[in-house]
Amino acid sequence: MEFYNTLGRSKQEFKPIKEKEVGFYACGPTVYHYAHIGNLRSYIFMDLLNKTLELNGFKVNLVMNITDVGHLTDDADDGEDKMEKGARREKKTVWDIADYYTDAFMDDIKKLNIKKPGVICKATDHIDDQINMVKEIEAKGFTYKTSDGVYFDTSRLKEYGELMPNFNPGDLEGGKRVSLGDKKHVTDFALWKFSKPGEKRQMEWDSPWGRGFPGWHIECTAMGCAFLGKKFDIHTGGIDHITVHHTNELAQARASFGDKHANYWLHNGHVLVNNEKMAKSSGKFIKISDLEGKGFSPLDYRYLTLQTHYRKRLNFTWESLESARSARLKLKNKLSGLKQEVYEGGVSNNEYYDSFLSALNDDLNTSKALAVLQELIDSSIEGSVKKFLVLEFDKVLGLGLGEEDVVPEDVYELGLKREKARELKNYEESDKLRKEIRKLGFEILDKKEGFEIKKL
């Protein structure tokens, strides 16, 4: 197996620390709003990696955090806590906001066929672990205190910036355009922030340095250690984490116990809309419910993401989702047309299976894996073997190919036509199309945005 390791910037052979087990930490969501389809690409990637490792016989200990405190509106420790801001927006408590959006995230990942990580840990449940790690970093002489918190002095760590492609130590100095506040260097970051005098935060704790809350990066290093130890195999997140969050996590690990924490740091590329990064903070983003509202299955989106390599950017368009849906439904329909007999021969010495596995083992080359799937479906091999293999592949791809309730492509096409007719206020045509859809055994339901089709 080979993966592209951002630390070292090369494709490297995967050598696990233990023979048959993998320690894997995935940076989880900040739960102040719904996850958008960009965020969710990160967890589809996590899932593919997890399942590919399992396919290779590893027991994967997958840990994912929930950021429910400390992530500020400005990644560089200025601005407001995103959670407190979310609570104000919705006139709820921070704790309610965190619970609500954590549940919503869990629903999303379920719909995307993402296997739930074995450990899901909340930052607010591990405040003591974080305080202890800050104490260790302090004892090693890497911190200083300002009026608003305890900061990590990045100039003291010779490896600082090792994840970044073109980092040079001069970048530590504040240029004229960057306001340093009380910080000594631009790259210095908060380990612990003080509650502002006179301001009552909803989430705050006592610490040896004063009442306040942890910086954003310390939660992952502390919880990574708590669940996977000081050294584990894989750490993942979106590409935006390279320059700040993961760089700082790595710095904390180096400072507190002198190691790089994870051996392989893997990052997924961004999802763009109209060539701009989809961002939760903008408030304008596409969610799973938006896809469903237009009659898509979340798995159509999963298929769409598999067509592009995880490290590349993915420019989302509704047309591309349309083609993904159509391709996925074709696969489903072909599969449902195959014989029902059960094949029990296993996968050894099968050329399709071998090509599929080697595509995934080559830094998760999912577009190649989909091509192998297509070849297999179009091949003339015996129906029951074909069915068996497709379902084996789908254990990793997660496209729901064997699930019932297929809405055939022609029914979807009629749904789209009806949607157009409704837009043009041609109600006679739209009624005619509804009847046609019903004749084929399906019901079309109008949603706030778009439609949904259900089997009658």
Minimum separation from the CB atom of position 204 to Zn ion (A): 21
Rounded Cα distance between 208 and 132, Å, is 10
Is residue 215 a contact residue for ligand AMP (CB under 6 A)?
no
Q: Taking CB within 5 to 8 Å according to partner kind, which of ligand AMP, Zn ion, none is near residue 325? A: none
Interface residues toward Zn ion, by CB under 5 A: 27, 220
User: Facing residues of 314 across strands?
Assistant: 271
- Coil, strand, or helix at residue 5? strand
Minimum separation from the CB atom of position 70 to ligand AMP (A): 11
What DSSP character marks residue 341?
Answer: P
The residue to which tokens 């067509």 are assigned? 307
Rounded Cα distance between 174 and 182, Å, is 11
Number of Cβ within a 10 Å radius of residue 107: 15
Minimum separation from the CB atom of position 283 to Zn ion (A): 23
Query: Residues 142, 219, 277, 313: is their CA dihedral positive or negative?
Result: positive
Minimum separation from the CB atom of position 321 to ligand AMP (A): 15
Shorter beta-carbon distance to ligand AMP: residue 145 or 277: 277
- H helices present in 165-297, as ranges: 218-228, 247-257, 288-293
Minimum separation from the CB atom of position 318 to Zn ion (A): 31
Q: Taking CB within 5 to 8 Å according to partner kind, which of ligand AMP, Zn ion, none is near residue 29? A: ligand AMP
Minimum separation from the CB atom of position 1 to Zn ion (A): 24
Q: Taking CB within 5 to 8 Å according to partner kind, which of Zn ion, ligand AMP, none is near residue 94? A: none
Shorter beta-carbon distance to Zn ion: residue 185 or 245: 245
> Closest residue (Cβ) to ligand AMP?
238
What's the gap between Cα 277 and its chain centre?
15
Under 8 Å between Cβ of 421 and 379: no
Minimum separation from the CB atom of position 447 to ligand AMP (A): 25
Count of chain residues binding ligand AMP (CB under 6 A):
18
Shorter beta-carbon distance to ligand AMP: residue 276 or 431: 276
- Tallying the residues shown for the chain, one arrives at 456
- H helices present in 165-285, as ranges: 218-228, 247-257
Minimum separation from the CB atom of position 217 to Zn ion (A): 7
Under 8 Å between Cβ of 129 and 135: no
Shorter beta-carbon distance to ligand AMP: residue 87 or 329: 87
Q: Taking CB within 5 to 8 Å according to partner kind, which of ligand AMP, Zn ion, none is near residue 280? A: ligand AMP
Is residue 238 a contact residue for ligand AMP (CB under 6 A)?
yes
Minimum separation from the CB atom of position 245 to Zn ion (A): 5
Taking CB under 6 A as the criterion, which residues in 262-291 touch ligand AMP?
268, 270-271, 277-278, 280
Taking CB under 6 A as the criterion, which residues in 21-60 touch ligand AMP?
27, 29-30, 38-39, 41-42
Buried b (16+ CB within 10 A) or exposed e, 221-259: bbbbbbbbeebbbbbbbbbbbbbbbbbbbbbbbbbbbee
Q: Which of 166, 171, 164, 215 is nearest to 189 (CA)?
A: 215
Q: Which of 368, 343, 374, 344 is nearest to 356 (CA)?
A: 368
Shorter beta-carbon distance to ligand AMP: residue 78 or 431: 78
Tell me whether residue 19 is exposed, middle or buried, using C-beta atoms within 10 angstroms of its C-beta: 0 to 12, 13 to 18, 19 or more. Answer: exposed
Q: Taking CB within 5 to 8 Å according to partner kind, which of Zn ion, ligand AMP, none is near residue 398? A: none
Q: Taking CB within 5 to 8 Å according to partner kind, which of ligand AMP, Zn ion, none is near residue 382? A: none
Q: Taking CB within 5 to 8 Å according to partner kind, which of ligand AMP, Zn ion, none is near residue 238? A: ligand AMP
Beta strands in 368-441 (DSSP E): none
Shorter beta-carbon distance to ligand AMP: residue 107 or 452: 107
Tell me whether residue 118 is exposed, middle or buried, using C-beta atoms within 10 angstroms of its C-beta: 0 to 12, 13 to 18, 19 or more. Answer: middle
Rounded Cα distance between 388 and 385, Å, is 5
Q: Taking CB within 5 to 8 Å according to partner kind, which of ligand AMP, Zn ion, none is near residue 223? A: none
| Tokens (6 digits) for 335 | 């599969």
Would you state the torsion angle of the CA atoms of residues 413, 393, 14, 306, taken in this order, to the nearest 10 degrees?
0
Q: Taking CB within 5 to 8 Å according to partner kind, which of ligand AMP, Zn ion, none is near residue 220? A: Zn ion
Element (H, E) at 314: strand 314-316
Shorter beta-carbon distance to ligand AMP: residue 87 or 373: 87
Q: Taking CB within 5 to 8 Å according to partner kind, which of Zn ion, ligand AMP, none is near residue 41? A: ligand AMP
Minimum separation from the CB atom of position 130 to ligand AMP (A): 17
Residues that bind ligand AMP (CB under 6 A): 27, 29-30, 38-39, 41-42, 67, 237-238, 240-241, 268, 270-271, 277-278, 280
